[in-house]
Structure 1
Amino acid sequence: MTDTQQIPLDFTGTLADDGAGGLVRRTVLPGGVRVLTESMPNQRSVTVGFWVAVGSRDEFAYGHGATHFLEHLLFKGTHTRSAMDIAAAFDRVGGESNAGTAKESTVYHARVLDEDLPMAVDVLADMVAASVIDPDEMDVERGVILEELAMDADDPMDAAHEKLAEVLLGEHPLARPIGGTPETIRAVTREHVWDHYRHWYRPEEIVVTAAGGLDHDEVCRLVGEALTRAGMDLPEGAAPAPRRAVDTTAAARASVAEGTHSVHRPVEQASVIVGGRSLSTTDEDRFALGVLNAVLGGGMSSRLFQQIRERRGLAYSTYSFSAAYSDVGYYGLFAGCQPSRVDEVAGLMTAELERLATDPVTVEELDRAHGQICGGTVLGMESTGARMSRLGRAELVLGEFTGLSDALARVRAVDADAVRGVARRLLSGPQSTVVVGPVGAAG
């Protein structure tokens, strides 16, 4: 069996077998619900996640922020459980439960002892399939979300990242903040959230992933029974929903606003990001981009850290990053510095990226980047949560499962020419600079 395997929508079977009891399996249940598991022998814990391939980019025009609002409300009660019942179920077994809304997906997840997996599946399935979206709870939670947005707005770094997405993506729905804005959250009604819930939270859209001390067939049984108990109709023969296709219409609306864009905040330090358009999630150069980020701004030995912090003392924090989605992506070079140093620091960051596009990285830098990424990947795989998330990404985003050995080999195959090539790709488009701090007015 190859280490990388495509995942057809109707596939049921084994995706990977390490020969020591570590199996990755996939089953399509009635209703089109997909279940992927990874067994980790000798683990006493399990992390399970219920995924829906809907994010903030998919919201109706009248309900911006509804996806994140819904994530909060699913913890507020079902037809058979109160919010307290949901919270107490995990507290009484020492488990953890949480959720996350992204721009292209939403996940509800829990980590528990293997013996408590039936409870975790039952509670999460009940939340996903039988939430009541109580109007009174919604009014209370609206205040909580407004406080969350205010907290994020008070963080200059968060504000800079939000502004960068807006500047680089223009009218693309990915440019919108995941949580909405205070104005849209105040305007969202129970009907908006209910429409969103009923439109997306259907069996053919649901993916369940789990990793740890588990049995795949048992997980499939638990999921099917729990969703049925929650009232979800699971007809035999129903197919999973197609994976997200590239939205060329939305991509055409993405436009970069060049120049410098300032957001005034009464703080001591300026947060500055130089960025531009980057690669989509499945781009073949994504592994080279990962190595470039490690060399450029991935740690204390990176070029940005050495040049800006260690040699010149211009910043405490500096790094590079990239954000990738199904049809577009963007990159950024970040530093926090004195307002009077913004132009100098932005110039230094840009110069380091330009140098990667013209001069080959050294053998030492390449080896260090390979080791950083591969070591971090292997260490991360010791976590049941990381493996659960890897399965979700494989199913919803990539449409293929890549084993650990193949993933590491792809990273190690990135050479100096590949890094230089992807740097040139990044620099081939327009750049913008975002500055948040005591530097002018909002723009």
Structure 2
Amino acid sequence: MRREQRGVGWWRPGLLWLVAIVLPTPLWAGSEVLPSPVQQRLDNGLRVVFQFDPASPIVAVCAFVHTSAAQETWNATGVRQLLQLMGEQARPPAGEGESQLPPVALLHMAVSRDYVETILRCLPEDFPDALRRLRWALFDPDLSQEPFRYAQQRLEQEVMARQTSPVALAQDVLVTRLYPQWPGSWPLIGVGTATGVDLSYARDFHRKHYLSDATVLAICGGLPWETVGPEVARTFGVGNVPRGTPPALAAPVAGAEPNTEPLVLKLTGSEVSAVALGGRAPALEHPDYAAAAVMTALLGAGRGSRLYQRLREEQNVSYTIQADLAPSQVCPYVFCLATCSADKLDAVRTTMLAETARLCTQPASAEEVIRARRMVAGQFLLQQQDAVSLAHFLGLFVLFGRDRGMDHWRSFAERLNEVQPEQVQAMARQVLTSPAVVAVRGGASS
């Protein structure tokens, strides 16, 4: 699994979010079996999940704050991105001394539809200082005018960059077609009016949402829990992190039906064109999520997928093909995307629609389903070598599943292996019978 976009404005999964969600038990690091993860809830409600990996040379921390784009208002979309950008500039608050982020530590801020995430990597000996820097970035950033203006400029640059990418534009607009009534769906997670957000609104949003009860810390690396646990409690415990009742999280978006009218956009200055096709999907904790994962892999993940076979092997009309299942709680969706030259755009779109329809009407073979299941599970095995990825997905399960998060984590591999061809076809009929389709036609600048 690769992450295609790592800018602070967007956390975008690349080839299959789902491949990193299959977490078989036990975990492996090289040839070593890892111990079971440790879970703890601090007295202030902050949740911690920890995985010890003695072979890891670093410690990775992924801090999630459970605040979604659906909690933004129509005239203030993008406030979460601005706050994360301001967190990147965080300096020690008064009374904290002059200790800075250790030079060997790396800090990265990211935003998804359902949460904001701060990712930190450091050497084990720098873990205490790195944790303090993480706390400042999350809960005590400089919310004054100068860093706010800088964040607005950064975000505006990111928005402009996405608008010139046919892949990003096709994906972003596809979500607006699938969830037209959701304010955070344009473009994708809400940046349309970011430069017009008022600083006082940003401060108020931070005060209401960045709370211990809404936070999950996921940690993986070469320090034992006997060292990590007390350090986390000292840094993020009672009195060090704001506490309160977070605003209610939005339920999965309902209401307006998806807009399935085909849409073609023109993007001058791009030599590449793109077609995105997708539909609303079940959320991560849904019983049918495993079937959706297998369906997505079968359709567009890897050389054995149907779209790869048709678009690359048989017709040779596409550059790249990817499939993605986004385990959002407010706007879960599945999509496939292919890039091509402008003169091949119509052929690519026709083939994608034909293969999607075939999956809905003709059951997949047992061999295809087995290949797709292995694709999902096999990709994750590669991710288990990466402390950052493991921390990210452990935290994601705890964030979405709350008290049952680890139950979902432990049972998903078993549920995946039970998926049968008829379940894949049923999921395709549910999700892709009338897909939304967005094509972006590249062309020379006038």
TM-score by length of 2: 0.84
Say whether residues 1:170 and 2:193 are aligned partners.
Answer: no
Match of 1:9 in 2: none
Say whether residues 1:221 and 2:230 are aligned partners.
Answer: yes
2:357 and 2:264 map into 1 onto residues whose CA distance is 24
Say whether residues 1:89 and 2:93 are aligned partners.
Answer: no
Question: Deviation of residue 111 (structure 1)?
Answer: 1.3
Please report the RMSD computed on the Cα atoms of aligned residues, expressed in angstroms.
Answer: 2.8
2:109 and 2:121 map into 1 onto residues whose CA distance is 12
Question: Deviation of residue 68 (structure 1)?
Answer: 0.5
Unaligned runs of 5+ in 2: 1-24
1:371 and 1:209 map into 2 onto residues whose CA distance is 27
Secondary structure at 1:90 match in 2: coil
1:330 and 1:89 map into 2 onto residues whose CA distance is 37
Q: From the superposition, tell whether residues 375 and 228 of structure 1 become closer, same or farther in structure 2 (CA, over 3 Å).
A: closer
Superimposed CA distance per residue, residues 133-191 of structure 1 (whole angstroms, 9 cap, x where no aligned partner)? 12112212221211111111111110111110111111123423356446x12211211
Confirm or deny: 8 A CA contact 2:401 2:408 kept in the other structure.
no
Match of 1:431 in 2: 435
2:110 and 2:50 map into 1 onto residues whose CA distance is 20
Secondary structure at 2:372 match in 1: helix
1:203 and 1:146 map into 2 onto residues whose CA distance is 30
1:203 and 1:305 map into 2 onto residues whose CA distance is 45
1:76 and 1:327 map into 2 onto residues whose CA distance is 29
Amino acid at match of 1:112: C
Greater shift, 101-110 or 287-296, is seen at: 287-296
Correspondence list, 1:30-429, <5 A: 30-80=43-93, 89-91=101-103, 94-177=104-187, 180-181=190-191, 184-227=193-236, 231-232=240-241, 244=249, 246-247=251-252, 250-252=253-255, 254-266=256-268, 267-399=270-402, 400-402=405-407, 406-428=411-433
Confirm or deny: 8 A CA contact 2:300 2:321 kept in the other structure.
yes
Match of 2:10 in 1: none
Greater shift, 27-36 or 355-364, is seen at: 355-364
Q: From the superposition, tell whether residues 343 and 25 of structure 1 become closer, same or farther in structure 2 (CA, over 3 Å).
A: same
Amino acid at match of 2:132: D
Q: From the superposition, tell whether residues 381 and 244 of structure 1 become closer, same or farther in structure 2 (CA, over 3 Å).
A: farther
Confirm or deny: 8 A CA contact 1:79 1:132 kept in the other structure.
no
2:301 and 2:124 map into 1 onto residues whose CA distance is 36
Amino acid at match of 1:138: F
1:203 and 1:226 map into 2 onto residues whose CA distance is 12
Larger gyration radius, structure 1 or structure 2:
1
User: How many residues get paired?
Assistant: 410
Question: Deviation of residue 45 (structure 1)?
Answer: 1.9
Amino acid at match of 1:205: A
Secondary structure at 1:35 match in 2: strand
Q: From the superposition, tell whether residues 403 and 161 of structure 1 become closer, same or farther in structure 2 (CA, over 3 Å).
A: closer
Superimposed CA distance per residue, residues 416-439 of structure 1 (whole angstroms, 9 cap, x where no aligned partner)? 1111111121234x3322111248
Confirm or deny: 8 A CA contact 2:318 2:338 kept in the other structure.
yes
Amino acid at match of 1:418: Q
Secondary structure at 2:406 match in 1: strand
Question: Deviation of residue 405 (structure 1)?
Answer: 6.8
Q: From the superposition, tell whether residues 21 and 74 of structure 1 become closer, same or farther in structure 2 (CA, over 3 Å).
A: same
Greater shift, 25-34 or 213-222, is seen at: 213-222
Secondary structure at 1:419 match in 2: helix
1:27 and 1:242 map into 2 onto residues whose CA distance is 23
1:345 and 1:30 map into 2 onto residues whose CA distance is 55
1:21 and 1:155 map into 2 onto residues whose CA distance is 41
1:405 and 1:30 map into 2 onto residues whose CA distance is 26
1:303 and 1:52 map into 2 onto residues whose CA distance is 37
1:413 and 1:290 map into 2 onto residues whose CA distance is 12
